[in-house]
Amino acid sequence: MHPELARRIEAAAAVLRRGGLVAYPTETFYGLGALARDRAALARLARAKLRPEGKPLPLLAADLAQVEEVAVVTPEAARLAARFWPGPLTLVLAAVPGLDDAITAGTATVAIRVPGSDVARALARAAGGALVSTSANVSGEPPPADAAALSPALVARLDHVLDGGRTPGGLPSTIVSLAADGPRLVRAGVVPFEVVVTYL
């Protein structure tokens, strides 16, 4: 990784560790992040996005170890993680006890992935934990593919923007729920559901 980009990632991670809100690039669009364990930052994030209450917040993590800090990784989840992570597959798993309701929305589950973006993984690693990964837009607006496309109204509510260049855009991550009654497609995306189920 280029030293200048590494420096910018560390600066953004320091903001997250202090409870700040950061926009950052993922493997699809720009995401809006806060540390998943920071209750006050999560509340600020929901207000910044003008997000309806009762809607869960997806997370991303640097690696499987960070996933296990917030979610119960079943053998099925571990198989999918080995095949599709890092990458655009989000798994809905049982949340560990005590995970903030702002993330679970009372569902006792959490949607999480280890992203294909080197920058996003490095940011989570440097910040020290899983990050919220909701799209960096005001609710109802299209997600931005570069930092310059971020809504000025949203930027005014953030503490930092990590400019990692233009992201590929395209389809979002595929979301698959691994509930007791079997796998279920929550949102179609980059990874075809029929491919996912062949690894279960």
132-178 pLDDT, tens digit per residue, is: 999 898 878 888 999 999 999 899 999 999 999 999 999 989 999 99
The answer to whether position 186 is within a domain reads no
DSSP at 181 = T
Q: What is the mean pLDDT of the chain?
A: 93
φ/ψ of residue 3, rounded to 5? -55, -35
The answer to whether position 197 is within a domain reads no
pLDDT of residue 114: 98
CATH number of the domain to which 70 belongs: 3.90.870.10
What is the domain range of residue 100? 3-170
The answer to whether position 35 is within a domain reads yes
Total domains, the chain? 1
Q: What is the pLDDT of residues 39-54, one digit of tens each?
A: 999 989 988 877 666 7
The answer to whether position 183 is within a domain reads no
Of 121, 159, 128, 164, the residue nearest 22 (C-alpha): 159
Q: How far is CA 76 from CA 67, 108, 115, 179, 180, in A?
A: 14, 18, 19, 10, 11
pLDDT of residue 116: 94
The answer to whether position 53 is within a domain reads yes
The answer to whether position 192 is within a domain reads no
The answer to whether position 188 is within a domain reads no
pLDDT of residue 119: 96
Structure tokens at 131: 């990050």
